[in-house]
Structure 1
Amino acid sequence: MKKLLFTSLLTISMLSACTTNEDEKVNEQDQTQQNDTQEEQQSNENEHATTESNGEDTVSSVTQAEALKTIKEQLGTELAVVMPNNLPLTKGNFLTATTNGTDTQAEILFLESKEYIPVNDVKLKNASAATPIAKLTVKLFDSVDEASKQIAYEDYSKNGGQQVALGYNINGYQDAGAGSLWTGWNEGRWAIATHTRTDNPDAGVDLAKQAVEYLESHTLPIPHENGMVHLDVYESGNLIVWQDGKLVYTLDSIKDPMKALAIASVFNQ
């Protein structure tokens, strides 16, 4: 009887010890998994922080790509509108826009804001919420000939005027009248001109030289058939217009003339 009781107690003790060991193993596994999860979360947080600190434009650039996609989706038109790849934003700002479209016309007012604002958000009705970057209008005409009439294309070499060297073997031709002085030249299918006042003639030539140098390394959209650029020294009349078959693209409402060229040069033509 004593032997049987001793055997029972020994069995119970061994079972208890096994159970304790199993519990300890489970607890150790749970603790290991918990530690691994915490380390993974911390690693992800550190990686995210590193991305933000090493590339401050990452968030805004991703948002810009998404904004451009949304802008095209919300145009409200079936026109095959070509969009720019990107727009020059103030560092840390976000791209947004208001859009308006019909069967024959699409209009986009590109804006930048310090805080993220969705495209066509009601907040954009407040002029202080975002700053205009540029306005793009794309209009469909009844025919290619009708569209071509909207382009004030000129062959400046045939118009006469005082010749001036603009660099890179390009000559400009100056024409003055009513207090204004234009310096015009041609590059490919584009007619380009800068405007200044007659009492500040050097400014027009300087701007023309900057534009010529810029276009040595940047390409404007290929027009079908022609395009025109007007760059204003006084930042009041910058205008870029080009034809794509029956469609006419117009870029305006851009203060900085060189920024106007920069925006035109990033279209997917």
Structure 2
Amino acid sequence: MLKKKGAVLPRTTPLDKGQKLTASIASNDAKGYKVYFYGAPKALPIGDPSLSPDGKIPVAASFTARGKDTKRDKDLFAKIDFSQWPAEQAVDLGHKIKGYPEGAAGSQYLSWKEGRWQLQLRSTTEDKIDNAAIARKIVNYLEKNALPAPHDNGKITIDYRPGGKEVKVGVYWQDGDIVYELETGRVPIDALTMAVSVK
């Protein structure tokens, strides 16, 4: 159904028990596309009229393929300079990967790099979420499961909302003239499961 030549999509989308996977296509032309995936209470055809990103059926994830946008992509893929952190502040995330913590304005960040991928996890300081423990699970998962290889840039943002019960995960990568964006409110490992299944 997608018009772009060589279109790719996640082949796996984790859902809650009892949910059925379906999708709607928000945009679709030869240059790119945007697809929403839903966890529906019953089987529904792709593009069913009841499917809407702001409707009653929960969105599991969205997946976009778009052309490069110089200004937007400069901000999206802004490099973190890991050399600015003192070595003694680095956190061991396993598999010879170091994470770099930072605090700012009521938030705590943990950033690290894996190949061409830059990862950043944020939570509010008062929620006392163990960012390092979450990061170690992610590092362990990525040791066994390969993300798409970005020819240029790759970035993952994990943002725990105040209260710690909701999270927004974005997986972004650039492959030549195409930028892929996977966004979900599911837990980080579910987001990575979707990302590694893209083909």
Would the TM-score normalized by the shorter structure come out above 0.5?
yes
Contact 2:109 2:123 in 1 (8 A): yes
2:185 to 247, 254, 257: 254
Report the equivalent of 1:118. 45
Percentage of pairs with the same residue: 30
Q: Show the counterpart of 1:263.
A: 194
Whichever structure has more strand as a proportion of its residues is 2
Residue 237 of structure 1 aligns to a residue whose secondary structure is strand
- 1:83 equivalenced with 2:6 (yes/no): no
Aligned-pair CA distance for 1:249: 0.7
Q: Which has the higher contact order (CA 8 A, sep 6+)?
A: 2
Contact 1:151 1:242 in 2 (8 A): no
* TM-score normalised by the chain length of structure 1: 0.64
96, 109, 113: which one pairs with 1:186? 113
Q: Report what 1:63 is aligned to.
A: none
Q: How does 1:202-213 map to 2 (within 5 A)?
A: 202-213=129-140
Q: Tell me the residue number matched to 1:133.
A: 60
In 2, are the aligned partners of 1:179 and 1:197 still within 8 Å (CA)? yes
Q: Residue type matched to 1:262 in 2?
A: T
Deviation (angstroms), 1:150: 5.5
Which digits, 9 at most, give the CA deviation of each residue in 1:145-204, with x for residues without a partner? Answer: 678535424355323263111122211011211111111110010001111122345521
Q: How many residues are treated as equivalent by the alignment?
A: 191
**Change over 3 Å in CA distance of 1:156–1:200 after alignment to 2:** farther
Unaligned runs of 5+ in 2: none
Contact 2:4 2:33 in 1 (8 A): no
Is 1:154 the counterpart of 2:85 in the alignment?
A: no
- Which has a greater percent of helix? 1
The gaps in structure 1 that reach 5 residues or longer are: 1-72
- 1:95 pairs, out of 1, 21, 24, with 21
Q: Specify the SS of the correspondent of 1:84.
A: coil
Q: Does 1:225 align with 2:156?
A: no
- C-alpha displacement at 1:246, in angstroms? 0.8
The CA RMSD over aligned residues, in Å, is: 2.4
How big is the shift at 1:252?
A: 1.2
Are 1:135 and 1:254, in contact at CA under 8 Å, matched by a contact in 2? no
1:237 shift after superposition? 3.1
Any idea what SS the aligned residue of 1:238 has?
A: strand
How far is the alpha carbon of 1:97 from its aligned partner? 0.7
Q: What amino acid maps onto 1:127 in structure 2?
A: G
Which structure has the greater CA radius of gyration? Answer: 1
Q: Which amino acid aligns with 2:4?
A: E
Q: How far, CA to CA, are the matches of 2:71 and 2:129 in structure 1?
A: 37
CA distance in 2, matches of 1:202, 1:151: 25
TM-score, normalization by structure 2: 0.84
2:90 match: secondary structure: strand
